Amino acid sequence: MTAGRHAARAMAVADDPEARFRRLPAALRRWTPSALWRRLRLARRRGRWMAENAAACAPYAKPAAADCPAAGPILAIGDFSGDNGISRAALYEHARLEAEARAAGLGPVERLDLTDPALPRHPDPRADGAPVARLYLLSAPDTYARALALVPPARIARARRTGLWVWETPVLGRDWHFAFDVVHEIWTPSAYSRQAIADAAPPGLEIALRPHAPQLPAGTLPPDRGALRAAIRARWGVPEDAFLGLAVMDIRSCPARKNPWAHVAAWAAAFGGRADRVLILKLRLSKRTAIVRRELEEMIAAGAGGSPSIRLVEEFLPEAEMTALQAGADVYLSLHRAEGYGLNIHECLALGTPVVATDWSANAEYAPAYAGYHPVPYRLVPHRDWTGHYPDRDFVWAEADIAAAAETLQDLAAQKEAGKGAGKEAREDTPRRAGDLPGGDGKAA
């Protein structure tokens, strides 16, 4: 082991850096009176939400499969204009459905956007529209009440329904169980997610593995990767020769799953406060989880000397700029505790950006096919989450080995300095499978 690796192990905190914020006195900042009141009411509120969703969807119970027409109009409903991974996955799937429909000589796939303000919330049941033969619900089941209400009931009364479900823990939440009565089959992008769904599903329900098919928006990236990296660094004020890391996470509901504390700890353990080693940690926070920003800022001040080597970014980025940042980074870091798929991981690998990620859950299935994947060992630990996001809490998830992640980051940075690159120019080593970036059978809208 090199001196640098010894230093990384010496600097690395315990592999659960969040633990300090779960203990007093820091925990008092999380457990505000409003947070305590919310947790006390959560079980009752969750029961009410489950009952309301089940009641709203009961009129849309699936018809018998034998009563569904063999051919006819195709309709997809999803949150296509959102700015999260669920929305990107819905766009990718709609593009793939359209390509499959064209190949089969079928008509176009009609699309309804859950967040389109022009759509009526309660359409006229007498509205025109041919009865739908195939209905694809490309959003989570907890949106089904809104999704189904976008269509006159008669249009989908006999439609064969397919739901695209992604679940990120080993135990499917009870609040999705009502939707088993709505769909004839479930598509899910990972075997890990499929197992969680299958364990809860009634006998006979079809559950098919259908990995996501990310697509690169046309014209997003310039052919010169060197110019792209220079532009990215200029955009974010990063030294041109710096080793640039990227981590992206939506922690509005459950910060513990994405584990941002581990990202800060690993980067600080690997590089301290070096100005030529910069991590952009892009976050989406809610009012309830905003305390995490303060916790991360404290870790950065303590572990990286307060330098700008770790930057917390909450700015919204358009799709093209986000793709450029993914492609322009030297490494993508994901020390998550569980992933139902890990779309950012897949997108970065397919773009040729090396990925250092916890080698557990969905990404452990597809990522090893890429030369740029650097798995991080882990240990399984009981689930803990102060937000109470998951209704079923008796499961385990992964705690990444922060010291091992730091060593890998050091190796990748050293390779770049030595002129070997970190996998950017070796794009011929990146798998080329149908649907993977940058080519494939569709495109993101």
pLDDT, tens only, 75-110 = 999 999 887 889 999 999 999 999 999 999 988 999
Other residues' Cβ atoms within 10 Å of the Cβ of residue 310: 26
- What is the length of the chain? 445
d(CA 164, CA 246): 28
Phi/psi of residue 246, nearest 5 degrees: -140, 140
For the segment 409-418, the average pLDDT, to the nearest whole number, is 95
- Which three-class secondary structure string do you get for 248-299? EEECCCCHHHHCHHHHHHHHHHHHCCCCCEEEEEEEECCCCCCHHHHHHHHH
pLDDT more than 70, % of the chain: 86
pLDDT, tens only, 261-315 = 999 999 999 998 899 999 999 999 999 999 999 999 999 998 755 566 999 999 9
Supply 148's token pair: 């189904």
Q: Could you tell me whether strands 185-188 and 206-209 are parallel, antiparallel, or unpaired per DSSP bridges?
A: parallel
Residue 420, pLDDT above cutoff 60: no
Amino acid at 139: S
Full-model pTM? 0.89
What is the per-residue pLDDT for 7? 46
3-state class (DSSP) for residue 54: helix
Query: What dihedral do alpha carbons 396, 213, 76, 209 form, nearest 10°?
Result: -50
DSSP bridge partners of 283: 249
Measured in whole angstroms, the distance separating CA 91 from the mean position of its chain's CA atoms is 14
Q: Could you tell me whether strands 160-164 and 185-188 are parallel, antiparallel, or unpaired per DSSP bridges?
A: parallel
With contact defined as beta carbons under 8 Å apart, do 374 and 354 qualify?
Answer: yes
Tell me the CA distances in angstroms from 194 to 176, 186, 189, 270, 336, one per residue in order.
Answer: 14, 9, 8, 36, 19
3-state class (DSSP) for residue 380: strand
**CB burial class (10 A; 0-12, 13-18, 19+) of residue 151?**
buried
Asked which of 3-12, 79-88, 208-217, 305-314 is least confident by mean pLDDT, the reply is 3-12
What is the per-residue pLDDT for 107? 84
What is the per-residue pLDDT for 139? 95
d(CA 284, CA 248): 9
pLDDT class of 219 with cuts at 50, 70, 90: low
pLDDT, tens only, 146-197 = 999 998 888 999 999 999 999 999 999 999 999 999 999 999 999 999 999 9
With contact defined as beta carbons under 8 Å apart, do 183 and 163 qualify?
Answer: yes
